[in-house]
Amino acid sequence: MSNSRTKVIRTHEGHLLELMDENVQSVNALKSKLTRNHDRDDSRDDNDNDDGDGDGDGDGDGDSDSDSDGDGDRDGDSDNDQEHVVKKAKRQLAVQTPTGTLQVNSDDFRQYHQAKSRVRDFYREQHEKQTMAFNLQARVNFKTKTRAKMTIWDALCKLSMLIDDSDPDTELSQIDHALQTAEAIRADGNPRWMQLVGLIHDLGKILYFFDSEGQWDVVGDTFPIGCKFTDQIIFQEFFKGNPDDSHPIYSTELGIYERGCGLSSVMLSWGHDEYMYYIAKGQSTLNERALAMIRYHSFYPWHREGAYRYLMNDKDFEMLKEVQAFNKYDLYSKSLKRYGIKELEPYYLELIDEFFPAKYVEF
């Protein structure tokens, strides 16, 4: 069978769900502009440029930290520490240390070789079950039903009942992590849209309370489906139990893709990143940088380890800097500190209303 006949994702057509959703963002943008013009006397330029960085350009450039995040260990196998050191020495990505309000030791994070057994057990199940067949079906399920209608804030509060089994860095609930991330971004004077990303970037984990099969199809690092599982994926050895790992096409470097096709044409493993990306894309006015932060923040093999560069196009290299700038807040804001939800609620309710035109969101 020829390679052209086996492709299911074509770069000139774009991502499967992009075809379904291409006009939704522009409609919501218009709704939001009409609402702001009615309720406020501020000009549209003032609204668009309220980025909190003092430069008035709307792009949040007041934050100078846009390189990659820290260099915590990534190998995950306690028997291969020496090999891990060699891999880390070969990285081509710049090493980033926490700056601004995030005065922590980057080596304290993502230490998978020291992780609890629940973390290893999670990744074993995730790597074995995230197949092409599952991912296609998951996207069909997403597009064919609405699981719930609720406010963004109510959905966040629901996350107070979830502790992420894949995360070796925190034992707090997901709403605690959301507020830690958002408040760190806010403290550094970043734009309001980025503060909102900090608040909602993991909101897709609400999928766990609907029709997920466990945490393996909701949380954890993400990776491309339909091509080789790179060695830069954490606990890569667990893919041996995934049938795609020995598939004649999916196990090759390019698989169903073309070199330089762009990440928008790549199917990433289904979970909270993809889920929340499509919700935000279809029902908010967040810009493309914000959407990239949501979609790719768990794509550690890409934004941290430098893998899958051969799939990127020029736009992806621009978005990589944005995702890396966000990632330091997502990762290094994790601590034992807990914020008062009621105290912060008024501020973030206003922030949510600024970018989500409809009060009730379809999840």
Binding residues for Fe cation: 177, 201-202, 272, 297, 330
CA 150/CA 154 separation, integer angstroms: 6
**Per-residue DSSP letter, 161:** G
Where do the H-state alpha helices sit in 144-244?
152-158, 174-187, 192-200
Annotated binding site: 110, 164-166, 177, 201-202, 205, 220-221, 272, 297-298, 330
Using CA atoms, how far residue 84 sits from 19, 100, 221, 234, in Å, is: 40, 29, 18, 11
Q: Which long-range contacts (CB under 8 A, 24 or more apart) does 346-349 make?
A: 348/153, 348/182, 348/196, 348/199, 349/153
Q: How far is CA 280 from the centre of its chain?
A: 12
The beta strand positions in 266-309, using DSSP E, are none
The residue assigned the tokens 């891999």 is 87
For the annotated binding site for substrate, the residues are: 110, 164-166, 205, 220-221, 297-298
Q: Is residue 177 classed exposed, middle or buried when 0-12, 13-18 and 19+ CB atoms within 10 A define those classes?
A: buried
Distance CA 66, CA 69 (A): 9
Q: Can you give the length of the chain in residues?
A: 363
